[in-house]
Chain A
Amino acid sequence: MSEHGNGHAEPTSFLRKYVFSIDHKVIGKQYLFLSLFMALFGGLMAYYMRWQLAWPETAIPGAGWIPEPMAFGGIIPPEFYNALITLHGTIMVFFVGMPLLLGALGNYLVPLMIGADDMAFPRLNMMSFWTITTASLVLMASFFVEGGAASAGWTGYAPLSADPIHTGVGWGLNLWIMALALEFTSFLMGGINFLTTVVTMRVPGMTMFRLPLMVWMQITAAVLFMLSVGPLIAGAILLLLDRTVGTGFFIPERGGDPLLWQHLFWFFGHPEVYVVLLPGLGAIMEILPVFTRRPIFGYKTIVYSTIVAGALSFLVWAHHMFVSGIDPQIVMPFSITTILISVPFAVIIFAFMASLWGGSIRFTTPMLFAIGTIVTFIIGGVTGIFNGSAPVDIFIHDTYFVVAHFHFTLFPDVFLGGFAALYFWFPKMFGKMMNETLGKVHFWWTTITFNMVFIPMFLIGAGGHMRRIYNPLQYDFLKPMQDINIFITWSAVALLVGQLVFIFNFFWSMYRGKKAEDNPWEATTLEWAAAPTPPPHGNFETVPTVYHGPYEYSCPGQETDWQPQHVEKGSVAA
């Protein structure tokens, strides 16, 4: 009970300062590096898969190092391909998306934005980071056990996952379950911490409706996660027992029900995509007002829409199961709720567009990425309506149309939104500005090649190209589309190679970049306007008092066109 976020002394030893730190800023950066590191693996796996799809069963350049029996001289067998699709999905959602958007951005920004000196439970915060690090190690270790890594897809559908006889994977899948369990534990700790911090540690004047929207998105995501993950934890326990002690909860021959796993998985899985989505949108919501120099359109509308979408997200899960053999009578209600959930998100997107309208837009790198996120996310959102309507879904289910759809939602959110956030908050985090020219090159390269990868996937998906197949040339009707597959693969290579620009810019700027001022973007929220760059231990020199909302730009009668939250109107900004 001695855990509280105030006044813990500044650590002096290297270990306590950078490794086992309880400072939310250090922990945020640790999450950032973990997620970027895991993203390299996720990207590498995508490359191996794409090569296999374009030129099946040929030696993959750069895969020669993979030991047998995973690959044979750079040629990957079907078992390893299945492990790749499984781990690519698992890593990108749970070990990149969540640690980047919730772990890194949430930890770094939430206390700063509400004026607190740290999180409510700093030690719990440290534990949550080391728990997900352990989870990452367990996950990567699963490649090296007998039978290889989990290969039942990132959704781990039973009975494929419930009995080793189907995939030949033994401990690999057990470790996969354990890695997920650790990851969930980590984010449960994080969610409790975020909520307690926001509820109890706001500075005077920081009412709930004066919170920067990023904070709203983080706490809504935390609530969604904490309420949805329970059933999947229950499911994971049952699945592990099926695999280890011989129960048969998901195995039909032993009286079990494989659909039960799908229900438990997707009851979590659908809210989970909003858990990842909301903080990404939150970053956009912070960036838009700063670079349009006007308040965000419809603050409360956005908050209420988010809450409505969050509540609805608990009622849509069976739309993932339209072809799984569920009662047709429950298909239509889920179709309706699914299409309904696009309404609050459409409201949010329209609020974004209205925020751009009439603004004095500054086309900086973060702003470009923010606009890029919105534009590409719209494609992802609109194609979701196709998937949501059962009659269409029966045709496109398990095709590349679905793959294209969810990459068009998650890629803009995690990567484009994540890059927007990194270019935006990098100066605060590391005290240096990132290079703008390289940033713009990175933006155009990434956005264009991303679309070159995934727009063709809609086409081949509509043409019936199944997802999760090892060798498309085995099917005569897919052969005419092989040229598109090759085009997608080259585009994917270009997309991945283009990220070197970011990696270079990131590390080069950290050491050689132009020194950042306290508030280089002329923003109003506390982390920019009230905290020094980079913020010291304890964040603020004096505890700020908040006088108004977070987006007071271009107020008439003021000296500057931004009015920091902790400076009363009429007085001169410090």
Chain B
Amino acid sequence: MAELAVPPGIRGRLGNGASGNMGNGDGSPYTPSPASHINKALFGLLMFIGSEIMVFSGMVSSFLILRAGTTTWPPVDQPRLPVAVTGINTLFLLLSGVAMYMAVRSIKRGQSGSLLKWLSGTVALGATFLGIQGFEWFKLVGFGMTFSSSVYGGIFYVLIGFHALHVFGAMLGLLVVVARTSAKKYTKYDCNGVMMCAAYWFFVVGVWPVIYALVYLA
């Protein structure tokens, strides 16, 4: 197995590029490990997303338990949530997920021009989502719904804010990927950054409909 010569292109396709394998580091022959084709960074990120899903589960459970323990939800003196606007906003976020999917498809086909286009679309839709969220928060605060006005307001801002923070963080990563895309850093075989960014974006998009349904609709 030691003399197995792997061309650079194929190695890249196997995942982590030339460095992802059990190399000896001293130029001795390349020795494949049983699972060396698994992309380390992406695998690590998926593990991280798994733990993040559990943080969200904890928050959603807290929301459900606090709501179950209150006789009138929302409390009479607190504003109702903007269901329709946020519903439209949900569509924007879901569309950004579609744009991200198209971005991944583009780079898989080696079309880096189209990658940049779709990534920019994702950024625009993500920013729209955050903008509308922020605007709605302003209005809610104006109606007297704050962190400490009630448990209703507190858990709303914690849960929705925690998600918004994740969207914001994912946007920062996304902007780095956009910059690297315009600098032509990604190819069909070396697009780890795009894949990781996409995985995280799908996570923040995927968790939102659950939150929307539980907080706004139910």
Residues of A within 8 A of B (CB): 1-4, 6-8, 116-117, 120-121, 124, 188, 191-193, 195-196, 199-207, 226-235, 237-238, 241, 245-249, 254-257, 260, 263-264, 267, 538, 542-543
Contact = CB atoms under 8 A, between A and B. Distances in A.
Interface stretch (B109-117, B124-132, B144-152): B144-152
Interface of B: 1, 16, 19-26, 28, 31-36, 38, 40-41, 43-44, 47-48, 50-59, 61-62, 65-66, 69-70, 75, 147-148, 150-152, 154-155, 158, 162, 192-193
Nearest to A2: B19
Nearest to B150: A255
Given A1-B193, A204-B34, 15 more contacts: A196-B47, A199-B38, A200-B33, A200-B38, A206-B33, A207-B34, A229-B51, A231-B58, A237-B158, A248-B148, A264-B61, A267-B58, A538-B24, A538-B25, A543-B22
Contact of B158 (A204, A232, A238): A238
A243 to B, nearest CB: 12
Contacts of B192: 1
Contact of B147 (A4, A207, A246, A260): A246
B64 to A, nearest CB: 10
Given A2-B19, A234-B59, A192 B48 contact: yes
19 contacts: A6-B23, A6-B25, A7-B26, A196-B40, A196-B47, A200-B36, A204-B32, A230-B51, A230-B53, A230-B55, A230-B58, A231-B58, A231-B61, A234-B55, A247-B151, A247-B154, A249-B154, A257-B66, A264-B61
Contacts of B56: 230, 234
Of A6, A121, A196, A245, most buried by chain B (CB within 10 Å of CB) is A196
Given A196-B40, A226-B47, A241-B158, A204 B31 contact: yes
A154 to B, nearest CB: 19
A193 B41 CA distance: 10
Nearest to B193: A1
Contacts of B33: 200-204, 206
A191 B47 CA distance: 9
B65 A263 contact: yes
Of B47, B55, B66, most buried by chain A (CB within 10 Å of CB) is B47
A228 B147 contact: no
Nearest first, the 3 closest Cβ-Cβ pairs linking A and B are A7-B25, A230-B54, A231-B58
B35 A202 contact: yes
Contact of B51 (A7, A116, A120, A226): A226
Contacts of B48: 188, 192
Nearest to A254: B151
B67 to A, nearest CB: 10
A3 B148 CA distance: 43
Nearest to A117: B25
Contacts of A188: 48, 51
B34 A202 contact: yes
A256 B32 CA distance: 55
A247 B47 contact: no
B151 to A, nearest CB: 4
Nearest to A7: B25
B50 A227 contact: yes
A399 B20 CA distance: 53
A233 B58 contact: yes
A264 B43 CA distance: 27
Contacts of B31: 203-204, 543
B53 to A, nearest CB: 7
A207 B33 CA distance: 10
Contacts of B26: 7
B34 to A, nearest CB: 6
Contacts of B16: 4
A417 to B, nearest CB: 26
B203 to A, nearest CB: 13
B83 to A, nearest CB: 23
A76 to B, nearest CB: 36
A247 B158 CA distance: 10
Contacts of A237: 59, 158, 162
Contact of B55 (A117, A193, A233, A256): A233
Given A200-B38, A238-B62, A249-B151, A6 B21 contact: yes
Contacts of A124: 44
Nearest to A184: B51
A205 B31 CA distance: 12
B40 A200 contact: yes
B43 A199 contact: yes
Contacts of B70: 255
A247 B69 contact: no
A197 to B, nearest CB: 9
Nearest to A230: B54
Contacts of B20: 4, 200
B34 A206 contact: yes
Contact of B19 (A4, A206, A263, A264): A4
Of B36, B40, B150, most buried by chain A (CB within 10 Å of CB) is B40
Contacts of A233: 55, 58
B24 A6 contact: yes
Contacts of B65: 257, 260, 263
Contacts of A191: 47, 51
A489 B132 CA distance: 63
A543 B24 contact: yes
Contacts of B162: 237
B50 A196 contact: no
Given A234-B62, A256-B66, A257-B69, A226 B50 contact: yes
A192 B69 contact: no
A329 to B, nearest CB: 15
A124 B45 CA distance: 12
A376 to B, nearest CB: 33
Contacts of B23: 6-7
Nearest to B37: A200
A265 to B, nearest CB: 11
A255 B70 CA distance: 7
B26 to A, nearest CB: 7
Contacts of B24: 6-7, 117, 538, 542-543
A205 B33 CA distance: 8
Contacts of B58: 230-235, 264, 267
Contact of B40 (A4, A247, A249): A4
B152 to A, nearest CB: 8
Given A196-B40, A255-B70, A256-B66, A203 B55 contact: no
A201 B38 CA distance: 10
B41 A3 contact: yes
A1 B41 contact: yes
Contacts of A257: 65-66, 69
B54 A248 contact: no
